[in-house]
Structure 1
């Protein structure tokens, strides 16, 4: 039986709550704001009640105070990833050269552009839908978005010249993907979620690549689960990086930051040199 549709806020909240939406009141406000007609509202609500992520229904997600367009299938930016942005801002000098790997919608790239004022900034992702979405979000900034696996699509001449690499790479162990909430498991690209047998397969490759692509004194910052930090720090140290762990209780977030040491007698090649061309 078809449920009569209503634009009444309290009735909409009840429908969303019955469908399992934890933040039903907030979602009702957002859905009402997004629709310019009862017909469109009915469609948006039906999609949400069917289990489609709210961000896909709205077409955007909030991240670090920014409204970021998110297309269906593209990894939805999580609030906890703000810790990666905070850590990057804390360790990086002025006007850095920055690459955001596994960029998804480009949300982290957008936040870094505002926080760091980089002299040069680029993003990359292996998922074609994510690349298209990120290019749309970053077009006004003129930020290039490369399509390919981690560092592979970057021009070779940039090797050894980056001040900062960030990556919100997948870190969910393969066996745990099926335990993720349906909104992620059924709607987001598996390549953005599955981190291999122990969740660190992609992050180990980020570490190995960072050694070759960072300038001396440069940093790599990644997100991980708290339980993975010992193994991940060991992986960074094994390739010659100096790791440290940052945790934010409020965000329920963990980041690992690792620095490429400056050779003895050398000086950090960061903040102020020319951008790669």
Structure 2
């Protein structure tokens, strides 16, 4: 009879993670233990986590808006703060609405919106092939469509002037601040999902400029940004002919700018 395999206790795993600087060591230990299915798995997972690999890559999923969102290595990991973007968008979307998730990454925002608002026509787009593959796993079951390409160029022409709710968690970290991000992000996540250019707003500018061509009359654009950048983001919306309103959540430590295309009134 072979000797039983030694399995480190939860407290031992948590202690290793805590020593490596993991803030939520106890929770991570529980998740890693549950993910280890064969002898040696746990040691490997803990070693990779201690070396800095994001927990979500090791688990293969991230919790977002109460759902398990599939996340593959090299794909942007959805942040809890972005749940506020979903919350605000879900207030505006109605069954039957055309909803588009630009810079979708794993598709977490689109999947969460589909769960929150039934019967929407959901589209998502990203420039990264790995993100597109991942998003299809998350959005496909909800009947959504994921397109590969650079912002609006990825979308079918049939969506022009038809989008009711357009959401974007576009990269908004200034290039010079990338080096100050946690290693989990700057080392392992794709640069294109983080780097927003010199002031962090390059992608937001492009989204705002073309939004009026894609939004339906009365359609809404929602972009996640930072408190510091929000006034400039709002100015971009107004410059494109949209209204602009900034909302902030202390609970999520998140800021969203909302813009609306003018409705057409026929007298």
TM bucket (normalised to shorter chain) is: over 0.9
Check the 8 A contact 2:102/2:167 in 1, yes or no.
Answer: yes
Counterpart position of 2:66: 65
Matches within 5 A, 1:152-167: 152-167=153-168
Deviation at 1:18, TM superposition (A): 0.9
- Give CA deviations for 1:16-74 in whole Å, capped at 9, x if unaligned: 11111111111000001111233111111111011000000111100000000100010
SS class of match (1:207): helix
For the aligned residue pairs, the C-alpha RMSD in angstroms reads: 1.2
Higher relative contact order (CA 8 A, sep 6+): 1
SS class of match (1:152): helix
Check the 8 A contact 1:233/1:243 in 2, yes or no.
Answer: yes
| TM-score normalised to structure 1 length | 0.92
Unaligned residue ranges in structure 1 (runs of 5+): 267-277
Counterpart position of 1:133: 134
Counterpart position of 2:118: 117
Counterpart position of 2:79: 78
Check the 8 A contact 1:7/1:38 in 2, yes or no.
Answer: no
**Compared with structure 1, are the counterparts of its residues 224 and 218 closer, same or farther at alpha carbon in structure 2 (3 Å cutoff)?**
same
Unaligned residue ranges in structure 2 (runs of 5+): 1-5
SS class of match (2:188): coil
Runs of 4 or more, structure 1, over 3 Å off, are none
Q: Hey, what's the Cα distance between the residues in 2 that align with 1:110 and 1:157? A: 22
Give the count of matched residue pairs.
262
Counterpart position of 1:247: 248
Counterpart position of 1:234: 235
Deviation at 1:102, TM superposition (A): 0.5
| TM-score normalised to structure 2 length | 0.95
Q: Hey, what's the Cα distance between the residues in 2 that align with 1:241 and 1:31? A: 46
